[in-house]
């Protein structure tokens, strides 16, 4: 759940470059090139299994599962396999808050103290700052106790009360910096529950998953026997996998507890970017870069920013940048045993959704998604 620059690795055996016009003329060739790149990634041990969904102009180019859903049982990944998606959950949380604001049930300018008056600095922090990662609220996933407590099952309010008592609760004055905060998004899930007087899982199901027909998508519950559930693995290198540690899904909550499939996520993007989820003003707010108190774009103040990190902006649970001049809007997700990349290229009308059941050193969805994106955009492999 931390920021790092993606390493772009050239896919082997990709010898044909596709222009935008070539894409339209020969989708099957693009699909074949993507398919080969993903098969090569599985063969190279970059993840036990993968799901890929690529859409162009609203039509599927490739929707396919690869590799193993369970190494011990030798079960293959298919299009109905269900993965945990980590922080991609955050954009559903953000969309739910925007829907509630549209209906007058809350305002993103509300202070956190309206919902959690006892949380440190709650009177100084707005919901909007929490969405933009400018609240300064310290991320519980950076606390030394996180791994020891990951298996505990608590209610949302119990976790919020626990976070409020951690040794460090604030990284900087609200509105003066940018630091990725899982705590902020977790608490926003509690805000949704209080505004709706319903569990977050019910809110998301009733507002998004059900109406949009996202049948493989839900806020996860590890106690549920779920057909098609994929096993997650931690990787220390190619082909070096071990079973991921247990984590209660009450721990990530609104910050990262959802499960889904690559195709469901691609269909979510189609609805979100196609105006079927939010009113135009709300969606515009979602993809507008956050601002600091001094008026600067929020990500100019990224803490510990690596010197080689490319420029980016952050809206509400969406990163905004580009790939060689092609606008890219999306988010990644990492949680014990799983890694997700969901990106939209609005001007190219391209969606790339990749989920891996492996995460770690040289393992996961990010680099594979990068290769797929470059193929689909007609760009050469990048060393």
C-alpha 267/C-alpha 271 separation (Å) is 6
- Cα–Cα distance between 97 and 208 in angstroms, integer? 12
Q: What is the pLDDT of residue 189?
A: 99
Give the CATH number of domain 20-47+62-377; options: 1.20.140.10, 3.40.50.720, 3.40.50.300, 3.40.710.10: 3.40.710.10
Q: 101-137 in b/e burial notation, b at 16+ Cβ within 10 A?
A: beeeebebebbbebbbeebbbbebbbbbbbbbbbbbb
Q: How many residues appear in the chain?
A: 383
- pTM for this one? 0.92
Whole-angstrom Cα distance, residue 313 to residue 299?
A: 6
User: What SS3 class is residue 125?
Assistant: coil
d(CA 66, CA 52): 8
The whole-number pLDDT of residue 4 equals 38
What was the pLDDT predicted at 47? Answer: 98
Instruction: Give me the residue spans of the domains in the chain.
Output: 20-47+62-377
Between CA 259 and CA 80 the distance in angstroms is 12
Mean pLDDT for back-to-back runs of 10 residues, the chain (383 residues): 34 35 70 98 98 97 99 98 99 99 99 99 99 98 93 97 97 97 99 99 99 99 97 96 98 99 99 98 98 92 72 95 97 98 98 98 96 97 82
């Amino acid at each position: 759940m931390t920021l790092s620059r993606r390493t772009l690795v050239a896919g082997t055996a990709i010898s044909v470059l596709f222009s935008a016009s070539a894409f339209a003329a020969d989708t099957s060739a693009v699909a074949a090139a993507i398919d080969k790149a993903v098969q090569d990634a599985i063969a190279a041990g970059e993840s036990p299994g993968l799901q890929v969904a690529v859409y162009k102009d609203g039509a599927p180019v490739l929707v396919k599962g690869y590799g193993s859903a369970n190494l011990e049982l030798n079960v293959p990944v298919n299009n109905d396999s269900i993965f945990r998606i980590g922080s991609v959950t955050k954009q559903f949380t953000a969309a739910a808050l925007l829907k509630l604001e549209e209906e007058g049930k809350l305002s993103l300018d509300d202070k956190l103290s309206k919902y959690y008056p006892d949380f440190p600095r709650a009177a100084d922090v707005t919901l909007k700052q929490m969405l933009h990662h400018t609240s300064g609220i310290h991320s519980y996933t950076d606390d030394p106790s996180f791994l020891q407590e990951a298996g505990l099952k608590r209610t949302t309010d119990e976790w919020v009360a626990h976070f409020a008592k951690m040794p460090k609760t604030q990284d900087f004055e609200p509105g003066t910096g940018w630091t990725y905060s899982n705590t902020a998004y977790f608490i926003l899930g509690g805000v949704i529950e209080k505004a709706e007087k319903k569990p977050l899982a019910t809110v998301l199901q009733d507002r998004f998953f059900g109406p949009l027909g996202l049948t493989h998508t839900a806020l996860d519950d590890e106690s549920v026997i779920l057909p098609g559930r994929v096993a997650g693995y931690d990787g220390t290198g190619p082909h070096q996998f071990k079973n991921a540690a247990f984590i209660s899904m009450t721990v990530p909550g609104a910050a990262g507890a959802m499960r889904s499939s690559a195709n469901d996520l691609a269909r979510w993007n189609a609805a979100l970017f196609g105006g079927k989820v939010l009113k135009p003003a709300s969606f515009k707010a979602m993809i507008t870069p956050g601002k600091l108190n001094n008026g600067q774009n929020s990500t100019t103040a990224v803490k510990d920013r690596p010197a080689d990190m490319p420029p980016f902006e952050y809206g509400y649970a969406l990163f905004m940048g580009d790939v060689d001049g092609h606008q890219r809007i999306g988010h990644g997700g990492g949680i014990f045993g799983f890694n997700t990349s969901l990106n939209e290229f609005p001007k190219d009308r391209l969606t790339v959704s990749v989920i891996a059941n492996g995460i770690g050193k040289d393992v996961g969805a990010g680099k594979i998604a990068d290769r797929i994106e470059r193929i689909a955009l007609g760009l050469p492999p990048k060393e």
